[in-house]
A and B are shown apart, each in its own frame.
Chain A
């Protein structure tokens, strides 16, 4: 995102709509008229989410988005949910994951789905940190989700390495999705603590499971026994999709 210095009157109202908490904004003085100030966006830190532009907060219409080219376009692809990813064909930065699982059979009994959403909530993440997390997960032998925008950026899915051209790009968030065998859950939970210490941002973690035939959720016990946090709220696919995936 950029600000037209000629149009901007330096009111600073757009900072309220900055998902990077406005810390990426500063003020400059018009060289032709030093009495006139205008707002500046630190392009290195801007994630191209477009929230400021879409809000319509700028009465001067000074905000504008120039055409983005590779690799900067990655910022918009991951940060602006109005952008439909060519890989997933859905808007937003994620995938269908468990939302259509009764139809796709993506998450089967015996496995858990998990995801680390790097940069969430509202901090943002550099792809160099996304790579650190992906490489740590790869060392556990996880299976990265094929149809995921982060996986598509990996140059080696066995190591979790990401295309070096995007490592210095910052996004609002990027989701690493993967499958693990149920028996590896404790190992994963320990690995999350180590990843947390290596990165210069935050991530939100989630876990997905097929409900067992008796209605139970097998991972609850692991979290209870380890006194680990698990949200009281979350998502439930209620199984109304057709055709149903046939489990063996």
Chain B
């Protein structure tokens, strides 16, 4: 299976714009399935974007974030062909990491 993270980072001068889409159910724990049983909470707790050994964006997420969340932000200092490391950890301890080159 391909990575659960899609990233696109583009640099325009000294600002790098980053877009990411993460595949995750983000179950809130308040929803019932077809049989009436509660779907246990399952959500991403932390997302981290790392550039040049430094965190440029860290988000603590909870149950209010949508399924397959999308993030967009920009930061100063990225250059073309620099590497960006993206990772998430969810409340069940699962995680995923990927790297992307800034374009």
Q: Is B truly associated with A? A: no
Contacts from B to A (Cβ < 8 Å): none
Contacts from A to B (Cβ < 8 Å): none
